[in-house]
């Protein structure tokens, strides 16, 4: 993988920073021209809450047929502090729920292989359950390894936010 950002590892907006006081859905993105996608969920858990984060698949970016992914995916998790920035690989799963006792900065990464979404699905999103806490926040940033790197470097039209 070319490590250069944004040419080689392409960031796409999922959910701009906002409160999780209310159920949230990140933007659906199309992975038709992606080789791999990492959905990075970065959260502030000011108040401990067992917030469930799920990945769903759909057949278009309008969310047609949206449903939880069927195949477990690699997940990394870290409860960041001022002295630790480590992430730990978790058991592969289709979702991740933060421990209710966890507060502070939380990062969760889902590695999504488009080939494992199922034959009719090429779009994904990430959803957060309602935390009921106005001071708990999330943001979602997708990092995409493009199928055609040269195309991404020179693209002139939106690629991943449309079908």
Partner 1 sequence: MLSFPENLLIIPGSAPVVGAAAEITSIPISLKNVQKLWAVVYVNTVGTSAAIACVPQTDALVAFGSATVLAHAVPIWSSQAAATSDLWTRETDAVNFATTADALHKMVVFEIDPSNFMTTATAASSDDCFRISLTAVAAGDYCAIFYIVLPRYISKSDTRTYITD
Which residues of the chain form contacts with partner 1 (CB under 8 A)? 1, 3-6, 9-13, 16-19, 27, 38, 40, 42-44, 76, 78, 80, 82-87, 104-107, 109, 137-139, 141, 143, 145, 155-161
Tell me the closest approach of the beta carbon of residue 43 to partner 1, in angstroms. 7
d(CA 25, CA 1): 29
Q: Which is nearer to partner 1, 12 or 69 (CB)?
A: 12
Nearer to partner 1, 87 or 94 (CB): 87
State in angstroms the smallest separation of the CB of 103 from partner 1. 11
Q: Is the dihedral of CA 86, 43, 101, 91 positive or negative?
A: negative
Distance CA 30, CA 163 (A): 6
Nearer to partner 1, 70 or 151 (CB): 151
Q: How far is the CB of 57 from partner 1 (least distance, A)?
A: 19
DSSP, residue by residue, 46-115: SS----EEEEEEESSTT-TT-EE-SS-EEEEEEEE-SS----EEEEEESEEE--TT--EEEEEEEEE-GG
Q: Which is nearer to partner 1, 96 or 138 (CB)?
A: 138
- Smallest separation, CB 54 to partner 1 (Å): 19
Q: Which is nearer to partner 1, 70 or 134 (CB)?
A: 134
The token pair at 112 is 């999504």
Min CB(12)–partner 1 separation in Å: 5
Nearest of 4, 49, 71, 59 to residue 28 by alpha carbon: 59
Q: How far apart are CA 63 and CA 59, in angstroms?
A: 7
């Amino acid at each position: 993988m070319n490590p250069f950002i944004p040419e080689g590892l392409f960031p796409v907006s999922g959910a701009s920073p906002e409160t999780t006081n209310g159920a949230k859905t990140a933007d659906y993105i199309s992975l038709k021209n992606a080789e791999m996608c990492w959905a990075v969920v970065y959260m502030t858990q000011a108040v401990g809450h067992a917030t469930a984060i799920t990945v769903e698949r759909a057949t278009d970016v309008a969310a047609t047929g949206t449903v939880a992914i069927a195949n477990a995916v690699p997940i990394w998790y870290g409860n960041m502090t001022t002295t630790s920035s480590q992430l730990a690989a978790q058991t592969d799963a289709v979702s991740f729920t933060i421990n209710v006792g966890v507060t502070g900065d939380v990062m969760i990464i889902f590695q999504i292989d488009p080939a494992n979404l199922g034959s009719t699905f090429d779009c994904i999103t990430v959803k957060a359950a309602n935390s009921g806490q106005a001071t708990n926040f999330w943001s979602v940033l997708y990092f995409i390894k493009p199928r055609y790197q040269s195309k991404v470097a020179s693209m002139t039209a939106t690629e991943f936010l449309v079908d």
